[in-house]
Structure 1
């Protein structure tokens, strides 16, 4: 009988590691869409509606998630029909992969952090306050929250650092937050008001209170996108001010 506990290997010899998940007969794992690198013949990939329940209610729930949080309407499930099944995954961004063990501890995730979840665990989309949704820019009105027992694989943009709070408080740039303990209270807001945020270059931050864990990533995808964007020359063909126009 499968125990639905994920058996995985993160290749530490690679700068941007692959993750291999071993599946016994009947075991399954939910994975980030498009993350599969390879799998053995016994593994089948199935597209599932990303919602709970059945019938129309499940479809409406999945559609609501997609519209309010940017989450995909579908999720991929990998299932093995033999005891030697293997599937390898790679994150969409260059960075690190960590395993979070669910049970006594549960977590919330920022957008883009989910890589895989074993078949015995699950997640739900918890409604956030309007203020959190407005300032966060990630997750919209809902935030992904884990449930049950199992293993969650999360990925980052850059390296991951674990921060532990013991009845303490810390403020972190929201774009650097990967995951945090469900028990922590959090408040997404501007660092020092609108004008001060413009002046310091620090915009939306997340202040955590209480006891628990926070996982942060060393790189900020929003800042990275701005840097890359500043080096991309746009313009129509034949425009004297366009680099591409000069080439062609």
Structure 2
């Protein structure tokens, strides 16, 4: 009999992780859109609106989430019609995948951190303050928050480190935040004001207070994107670095 508890394996022999989920008849899991690598004939993928509720309210919630955060209006639901359902996932960025057990602890997720959630747990798109929405990468006006009991799989760009607070405070670069306990208070702001932030190179940060867990990733995708754009050709033109590389390639060919 299915209980919708996620049964999964993370292949530790691979440099970049592949996650295989086993589903029984009637079991399902929510997965990151575009994360499916393969599945057998027992599993079907269905598209749902990325919000809870019903009718037009659900549509408006999903559309509002997409407009304020850039995330998809939809989420993928994988369902098995037999006891031998197999589904494999991989994150969109190279890095670690970590399971978080839901129950006594619930979590909020930064954009791009969600990989999968089993059918025994739930999530909601929780509205956050305008100040947090303006500064943060945590979903614009909405942030994904879990509830219920089950397993949540999060992915990171690089490796994941767990930080535990006990009535303490810590400030973390916002782009390095993966997930954090719902019990923590958080404040998204500039490190030292506009001018100082430009001078130090440290921009938007997230200050957490209270007791709970924070998961951070070792790499910053915003910094990586800024480095890579120097080598990307756009509108028929490339940067000086890109031009130099292109010239060498042309000379060799």
Q: TM-score, normalised by structure 1?
A: 0.93
- After superposition, the Cα gap between the structure-2 partners of 1:50 and 1:14, relative to the gap in structure 1 and judged at 3 Å, is same
Q: Give the aligned partner of residue 168 of structure 2.
A: 168
- After superposition, the Cα gap between the structure-2 partners of 1:120 and 1:235, relative to the gap in structure 1 and judged at 3 Å, is closer
* Counterpart secondary structure, 1:9: strand
How far did residue 40 of structure 1 move?
Answer: 1.2
How far did residue 68 of structure 1 move?
Answer: 2.4
Q: Give the aligned partner of residue 133 of structure 1.
A: 133
> Take 1:79 and 1:85, find their aligned partners in 2: how far apart are those partners?
8
The 4+ residue runs of structure 1 with deviation greater than 4 A are 244-247
How far did residue 148 of structure 1 move?
Answer: 1.0
Deviates more, 1:135-144 or 1:177-186: 135-144
1:28-68 Cα distance to aligned partner (Å, 9 max, x none): 00000110001111011111122222222322222222222
Q: How many residues were matched structurally?
A: 246
> Take 1:14 and 1:65, find their aligned partners in 2: how far apart are those partners?
34
Please say if residues 40 and 86 of structure 1, whose CA atoms lie closer than 8 Å, have aligned partners that are also in contact.
yes
| RMSD, aligned CA | 2.0
> Take 1:39 and 1:236, find their aligned partners in 2: how far apart are those partners?
39
Please say if residues 69 and 143 of structure 1, whose CA atoms lie closer than 8 Å, have aligned partners that are also in contact.
no
1:177 pairs with 2:161: no
Unaligned runs of at least 5 residues, structure 1 = none
How far did residue 234 of structure 1 move?
Answer: 4.4
Q: How does 1:28-43 map to 2 (within 5 A)?
A: 28-43=28-43
Q: TM-score, normalised by structure 2?
A: 0.92
* Counterpart secondary structure, 2:111: coil
Q: Give the aligned partner of residue 220 of structure 1.
A: 220
